[in-house]
Chains A and B, each alone.
Chain A
Amino acid sequence: MSPSTDRADVLIIGAGASGSVAAKHFAEQGLSVVMLEQGDWVKQSDLPGDKPEYELLAYKDWHPNPNVRRSSSDYPITTSGTVEQIGMFNGVGGSTILYASCWCRAKPSDFRVRTLDGVADDWPLSYEELEPYYNLVEREYSVSGHPDNPAYPKGYRPPLPAHPINGPGRTLAEGMNKLGWHWWPGYNSIPSRKDGHLEQCVRAGVCMFGCPHGAKASADIAILPDALKHGARLVTQARVCEVPVDDRGRATGAVYIKDGKRVFQSASVVVLAANGIGTPRLLLMSASGRHPNGLGNSSGLVGKRYMTHPFGTSVGLYEDELGDFSGPAGELVESMQFYETDASRGFVRGSKWHVIPAGPRPLFYINRWANGEGTKDEPFWGEMFAPKMKSSINHLIEIMVMPDDLPEETNRVTLDSERTDSDGLPGVKVHYVSGENTRRLVDFNLERSLEAHKAAGAYKTWITSRNNPSWHNMGTAKMGHDRETSVVNGFGRSHDVPNLYVIDGSVFPTATGVNPTATICALARRTSEYIVKNARNQEISA
């Protein structure tokens, strides 16, 4: 095994949303940073969104499910239970390459789930403690949004103005006003004007296929250039297989495979930013005599409590043309009307709704008609294909219901030695079953969403799907004060390995009912600052 040349102050595993935020901060503070990323850079010109064949390409090589993409940087994921697909992107920028850029802060109640609702756990920090870091990363991610949303405490003022809500947003907003229900212009990590490294959004609406116009805040464009400019070193196609520890229990760095050879990168501090699947995978692969159940797993919780947001969708058809060919996609509008717990509904916790424009993706309309709950028994192929497509494209609004998801230890990520990646490392198995509370939550919100469509003037409404994979992977290295019931502390530091940190969605004690990227990035920024401020007292390997 080849040794690395220099010992890094900080070694970050994963060059996605959180890894990039951390790398930038560390590098700007003068620390030596090495990042290891199993994938490679994405060429903007390779992204499909400006080509006529864009949807065809997107649903294979740019699909969020690594089992569909099957690139050399992916690893096999076998699912069981009620989750059929897992989403992520393994490359520089991580899942931000394909994310929709819906940017959503968690709310104060999300940090006090146990105290307020008597279930799951409280987070080891409050909204107020995380708020300064939300502000910092929203600047870095060029977040655009309308200020002073009454669904949040005062002071939430995104750095850039909101995008237009377009016809679909306007139409639904009018319906929500009739019902007296909350709605707000969407927040997106997509600049509404040229900002930093990013171009102004051109509203092509292909955000989830990667932005070919350099206008979406994917980490590779928005954040990493600054980290690299300040001296961070990024090694791509470097697949980490182990984080070794010394005989005092300190992490010594990481072993990675590149071009078929194992290389050791030494580091004083190791930071895992490999997402809610990749991080537990690496911790479990790093099992040793000292850590027989996986690195940092004295609690037994590494890989357990996997959470996702098994969202539902409903659609409404409208007589008028909606002007639905524009993005961002991204969210046009969102609603927090049913976010906070009302136990009289028969469940606790709640759901955020949002509208992502449907028009830019015509092929996906087929799924809504042919497989939608309300329409799958209607004729579609043959004589009805053209009339249904004509009546729905530019005439349809889709509401996505994103439910909070409660942790269960039986929902878990484990290693799969039978299906390996291109370097022979084990894939993963993900077992997940939606809990009763989550199912009731989704059902309730879908029914309310149909009412919203009708209030907005829809002449036909139906539920298109339930239990969709959200591509949000959370909970598998839970943060908490108690080392017996958590993997890392409130700053993401391993309870077992004092110079090992986790900064991705693995640390979430609960899922929240919102898109996780904002909170992941804020936590990463907070942990990075903590590491720098406490460098003098940081225990490291000799």
Chain B
Amino acid sequence: MTAAPAPFQLNPEQRVRLAKLADCLISGGAGMPSASEAEVHGPWIERTVAARPDLGPVVLEAISLAGEPAAALETLKTEKRMTFEFFAFAVAGAYLINPRIRNLLGYPGPAPAKNPAFPDEAESYLEDGLLDPVINRGSIYRPTPRS
């Protein structure tokens, strides 16, 4: 019987390292927090890896890189591009599932929200004659040629 994979857990040192690496990727700005301020290295990376167990090894590999964080990431990007891409994806994923981040970006909720159209909503977008110029120009197709 194959043993279940060990749950993804980071020790405090690993979390500190992840925070530094994540801040190299997402340092904040434009009213948005940095990755560490958004707790990417805390619960959100765990939620991310829980959804995507295949990202766990990638995160651990990135954390294990020695040296100054920015330089380590640059080396990873140069020498193991796919690993870099997946690590960046994991960090971005963890950042973007934080409901506080979604709220700052304007999303109506932590997950895609239901927003059914009102009965006349479709017409309201067209009611000032938006389609009239298209209709008035007439047909733009080539008909079936007569054989």
Q: Which residues of A contact B (CB under 8 A)?
A: 49-57, 60, 107-109, 111-112, 115-116, 126-128, 146, 148, 150-153, 161-166, 169-170, 173-174, 177, 180, 182-185, 192, 200-206, 213, 321, 325-326, 336-337, 339-341, 360, 362-363, 366, 381-387, 389-391, 393-394
Contacts and interface: CB of A to CB of B under 8 A. Distances in A.
B144 A51 contact: no
A282 B42 CA distance: 49
A165 B112 contact: no
A54 B112 contact: yes
A107 B141 contact: yes
Interface in B1-54: 24-34, 47-48, 50-52, 54
B121 A362 contact: no
Contacts of A108: 141-144
A60 B52 contact: yes
Contacts of A52: 47, 97, 99, 110-111
A325 B26 contact: no
B88 interface: yes
Interface of B: 24-34, 47-48, 50-52, 54, 70, 88-89, 92-93, 96-97, 99, 102, 104-108, 110-117, 121-122, 124-126, 130-131, 133-135, 137-145, 147
Contacts of B50: 53
B117 A204 contact: no
A483 B15 CA distance: 66
Contacts of B88: 366, 381
B134 A183 contact: yes
Contacts of B122: 161-165, 185, 192
Nearest to B38: A386
Contact of A204 (B26, B115, B139): B115
12 contacts: A56-B93, A57-B52, A111-B144, A153-B141, A173-B130, A203-B115, A362-B107, A366-B88, A381-B25, A382-B26, A383-B27, A389-B105
B29 A387 contact: yes
A320 to B, nearest CB: 12
B93 A325 contact: no
Contact of A150 (B26, B31, B93, B140): B140
A116 B116 CA distance: 43
A503 to B, nearest CB: 23
Given A169-B125, A325-B108, A385 B144 contact: no
A116 B133 CA distance: 28
B117 A206 contact: no
Given A56-B48, A182-B140, A362 B96 contact: yes
Nearest to A394: B106
A339 B89 CA distance: 37
A452 to B, nearest CB: 14
B112 A49 contact: yes
Contact of B97 (A53, A60, A204, A326): A53
Contacts of A111: 144
Contact of A127 (B47, B137, B144): B144
A425 to B, nearest CB: 25
Contacts of B29: 383-384, 386-387
A173 B131 CA distance: 8
A340 B144 contact: no
B123 to A, nearest CB: 8
Contacts of B116: 200-203
B142 A340 contact: yes
Contacts of B93: 53, 55-56, 363
Given A55-B93, A56-B97, A174-B130, A340 B28 contact: no
A108 B99 CA distance: 49
Nearest to B54: A60
Nearest to A181: B134
Contacts of B137: 150, 180, 182
Nearest to B107: A325
A456 B18 CA distance: 42
A150 B142 contact: no
Given A56-B93, A57-B52, A386-B26, A203 B141 contact: no
B68 to A, nearest CB: 14
B113 A153 contact: no
Contacts of A202: 114-116
Kindly list the 6 A-B residue pairs having the minimum CB-CB distance in the complex, ordered from nearest. Answer: A386-B32, A53-B51, A202-B114, A387-B30, A204-B112, A109-B142
Contacts of A325: 106-108, 112-113, 115
B141 A151 contact: yes
B140 A336 contact: yes
Contacts of A383: 27, 29
A381 B125 contact: no
A153 B143 contact: yes
Nearest to B143: A108
A164 B54 CA distance: 39
Nearest to A194: B116
Contacts of A60: 52, 54
Nearest to A117: B142
Given A50-B111, A111-B144, A204-B115, A56 B51 contact: yes
